[in-house]
Amino acid sequence: MAPDASDALAVREKVQQFLNAAVTGNLDFFKSVAAQLDDGKGLSQTVANVKDANKRGALHFAAREGQNEVCKYLVEELNIDVNTKDEDGETPLIHAARQGHISTVKYLIEHGANPSLASELGATALHHAAGFGHIELMELLISCGVDVNSQSESGTPLIWAAGHGQQDALKLLLKHNADPNIETDDGITPLLSAVAAGSLQCLELLIQAGAKVNVIAGGATPLHVAADIGNSELISCLLKAGADPNMTDEDGSKPIQVAAARGNRDAVEMLLSSSSEVETVKDWTVDGIINHMQSEGAKEQEAERNTRDAVTKSLSEATISTKKTAEVTAEAKEKAAEAKARADDAFRRKEYLMAVDAYTQAIDFDPSDATLFSNRSLCWMRLGQADRALADAQVCRELRPDWQKAWYREGSALRLMQKFEEAANAFYEGVQLNPENMELVQAFREAVEAGRKSHAANKTKE
């Protein structure tokens, strides 16, 4: 091995030892390795510069494992920035909160950590605490002024609590004036999230708090979702709260038709008396509705699946071809950055078509930038164009296969296309890259569950 290569390998091994010492809390060994890594810039600067491939430093790792003594040394003796962010925009406090290390969270806050800072996906420490129902930690964060209505890509802390069936966390957030009707950019509300999670307790609490039951997101109402799941308790609760059984989804189907298409007989029986007849269904009985919907649904799903596959393949091939260009010049990169800035502004204003146009201009200048494809994919998602979102996500992933956000984008597009198994696989790849990313973990679990239900419904039809 050449001397330079040998030296580089030795340094990498020292860096690994250093970060492992932060994880295990071996402070003496940690100090020893830090001293060996010092390149003459001073120990504080050296330690601050040592990061892993995801830009996580020693303080991120120590906080994640609740190693308070290492945290104390880093913060008080080396003056490491307590609000330093990794590649995903996550602070040491977020890492500590996600693992439920309340003493570490308290220490970091006492020494200047901002508990309201969010990751690139918008998630704060409160989102994570609400997701796994850590009440004491939630109370601490709320007492420090963290906004209970702060939005992430997956919604507010209340949506996270509802989506994980955390009724005590949900109670606490409502007590502190969390908005029960707040929506994500996709129209998801806490009540919709509770229904999707199958949590009757959370649903009841939200209804008591004034949550609307006839909202629409993704072209469906909460009653459609409950009918799709086949949960009679959820259906009964929603009907009692005023859910309209005659509202139609984006396909023009009523909840009873959705339940019938899934073969959820109990749900069909429960909805029959309150649902008005549909002209195209000649036999308006439980068996008649189920037989009609399953026969028609099978034909439509096959046709849609074939169309989507063809369009996705075409878009993917067309977009991937844009990568086969000459090296991007500095001038082109500058123009791409200007177009991206316009696109980002349009996205913040929720002018998604304008954003798509600007991102496309940026991509024309610099087709090697995975971030541009990721951002345009998200715009297509907001516009409901799942096939286009998938095509961009796949290019993003090819450009940066080790970027977890690329896999998140691909999984999200596949989930919208109801390709749940493929979506779960994409989310899983992202989880493999960062097992601590709760949004990816949550997305993976939801895709697996949706796939299981879809598979069960398809077997019922056979």
Domain assignment of residue 107, yes or no: yes
Which residue type does 1 have? Answer: M
Domain assignment of residue 392, yes or no: yes
Model-level pTM?
0.68
Distance CA 34, CA 39 (A): 10
Domain boundary among 74, 97, 114: 114
Q: Could you give the 3-state DSSP secondary structure of residue 57?
A: strand
Distance CA 431, CA 429 (A): 5
Which residue type does 57 have? Answer: G
The pLDDT value recorded for residue 301 is 56
Per-block mean pLDDT, blocks of 10 residues, the chain (462 long): 56 84 92 87 90 89 95 96 92 94 98 95 93 95 97 90 93 98 89 92 98 91 93 97 94 92 94 95 94 76 54 46 57 86 82 83 89 92 84 92 92 87 90 81 80 62 52
Strand partners, 57: 51
Distance CA 386, CA 407 (A): 15
Residue 228 in tokens: 């799709």
Report the candidate in 454, 390, 396 with the shortest Cα–Cα distance to residue 421.
454
Intra-chain end-to-end CA distance of the chain, in Å: 62
What own/partner pairs with CB < 8 Å and gap ≥ 24 does 247-252 have? 247/214, 247/216, 247/221, 247/223, 249/216, 249/219, 249/220, 249/221, 249/224, 250/218, 250/219, 250/220, 251/219
Distance CA 51, CA 243 (A): 52
Domain assignment of residue 341, yes or no: yes
Which residues 6+ apart lie within 8 Å of 259 measured at CB?
A: 227, 228, 230, 267, 268, 271
CATH number at residue 103: 1.25.40.20
Domain boundary among 48, 79, 114: 114
Which residue type does 107 have? Answer: Y
User: Can you say how many angstroms the Cα of residue 251 is from the centroid of all Cα atoms in its chain?
Assistant: 26
What's the number of CA atoms in the CB half-sphere (13 Å) around residue 41? 11
Domain assignment of residue 27, yes or no: yes
Domain assignment of residue 265, yes or no: no
Domain boundary among 93, 114, 135: 114
Q: Is 462 exposed, middle or buried (0-12, 13-18, 19+ CB in 10 A)?
A: exposed
Domain assignment of residue 11, yes or no: yes
The pLDDT value recorded for residue 310 is 54
Domain assignment of residue 203, yes or no: no
Domain assignment of residue 163, yes or no: no
Which residues 6+ apart lie within 8 Å of 450 measured at CB?
A: 415, 418, 420, 423
The pLDDT value recorded for residue 298 is 60
**46 within 8 A of 34, measured Cβ to Cβ:** yes
The pLDDT value recorded for residue 167 is 96
CATH number at residue 377: 1.25.40.10
Q: What total number of domains does the chain contain?
A: 2
The pLDDT value recorded for residue 160 is 92
Q: Residue 377 sits in which domain range?
A: 326-366+368-461
The pLDDT value recorded for residue 324 is 42
